[in-house]
Structure 1
Amino acid sequence: MRPRSIVLFERLYLGAWALGLINTGLNWSQTMRQFSAGGAVAVSPVLLYASTAIGLLIPLVLWFFITRRASLVAKWVLVVLFAIGLGSIALATLDGRLPSGLAGIVAVTATVLQAVAIGCLFQPDAREWFGEEAAEVKS
């Protein structure tokens, strides 16, 4: 049976993922306009669809390996990707590029949910799930 922290992580993380999906839909027309009118580097719609699909799939792969396979590697990949994303949101906020209105609220809410979810991965029962406690005892 999975520990309580892992179950809570799963709920929060998938909730954040769903908000990200909603945000993708909210911003889709603006994203299409930006990339098709990209000046010297116009992007094909096929590339945009593919990169969006991959961007939505990667978190699900990490979720699977964290919650179903207790992968310590997936946990740390997620932590690193979250840190990069957090830095990106901070820079967007400082530059005034964070979306305003509903899209901005959804983005910030999803980020907070992800932060709380990732915090669950460092609880004692989750650390045991990943085999971290056993490794510390042997040291």
Structure 2
Amino acid sequence: MRPRSILLFERIFLVYVLSGLASGIWSMLHISSFVPAGMPPRMMAAMPVFMIGGVIGTLVVDLLLWFFIARRGADIARWIFVILFALGVVGVLRSLFGHPQFMLPAMVMLITVARLVLDGICTALLFRPDAVRWFKGQRMPGDLGDTFS
């Protein structure tokens, strides 16, 4: 039986993944609102392909992380998730307070910040005591699996 922290992680992570898909779709539909002026026509024509590839690639990585964290209890997947979260924090802070080449629309930034919060909650859940025991492969207290064997 999976611990409560992992079950919560799984539910919140599903919202995280769905919000990423929503952000990607919204971005593709509104591509002209954040493409810098003067972009060469060939690059503009290639943007949807790169955006679709990015959405699909992100979805694949998210689903692999979900599977290995929430279903297999792979500790290495947990640490990959933490590293990606840290990189996400740096990226969001840079886009909010740095001087990017172009500004993302407010809707995309709002979804990005909301996703970062969800990602932070998921990361915290992976380090609760019941989750740590589960990643170590230890039995959960109250697990009655061997009671009648």
Report TM bin, short chain: 0.7 to 0.9
Give the alignment partner of residue 106 of structure 1, picking from 111, 125, 142: 111
User: Over residues 43-90 of structure 1, what are the superposed CA-to-partner deviations in whole Å (9 max), with x where a residue is unaligned?
Assistant: 734444223211221011101100000000100001001111110000
SS in 2 for 1:42: helix
Give the alignment partner of residue 94 of structure 1, picking from 93, 97, 121: 97
Q: Which runs of 5+ in 1 are unaligned?
A: 135-139
In 2, Cα distance between equivalents of 1:13 and 1:70:
15
Structure 2 length normalisation: TM-score?
0.76
In 1, Cα distance between equivalents of 2:50 and 2:111:
25
Identity, in percent, stands at 31
In 2, Cα distance between equivalents of 1:47 and 1:16:
21
User: Over residues 81-136 of structure 1, what are the superposed CA-to-partner deviations in whole Å (9 max), with x where a residue is unaligned?
Assistant: 111111000000012656343322221111101101110000000000100779xx
Aligned Cα root-mean-square deviation (Å): 2.7
Q: Which runs of 5+ in 2 are unaligned?
A: 140-149
Does the 8 Å contact 2:126/2:132 carry over to 1? yes
The letter of the residue matching 2:134 is: W
The letter of the residue matching 1:78 is: F
SS in 2 for 1:52: helix
Give the alignment partner of residue 125 of structure 2, picking from 120, 124, 134: 120
1:76 aligns with 2:75: no
In 1, Cα distance between equivalents of 2:50 and 2:105:
26
Partner of 1:14: 14
Q: CA deviation at 1:25?
A: 1.4
Shift in CA distance, 13/66, structure 1 to aligned 2, threshold 3 Å: same
In 2, Cα distance between equivalents of 1:4 and 1:121:
11
Q: CA deviation at 1:30?
A: 4.4
In 2, Cα distance between equivalents of 1:85 and 1:130:
23
When the two structures are aligned, how many residues end up with a matched partner? Answer: 133
Partner of 1:23: 23
The letter of the residue matching 2:65 is: L
Which structure has the highest helix share of the two? 1
Shift in CA distance, 90/132, structure 1 to aligned 2, threshold 3 Å: farther
Shift in CA distance, 132/22, structure 1 to aligned 2, threshold 3 Å: same
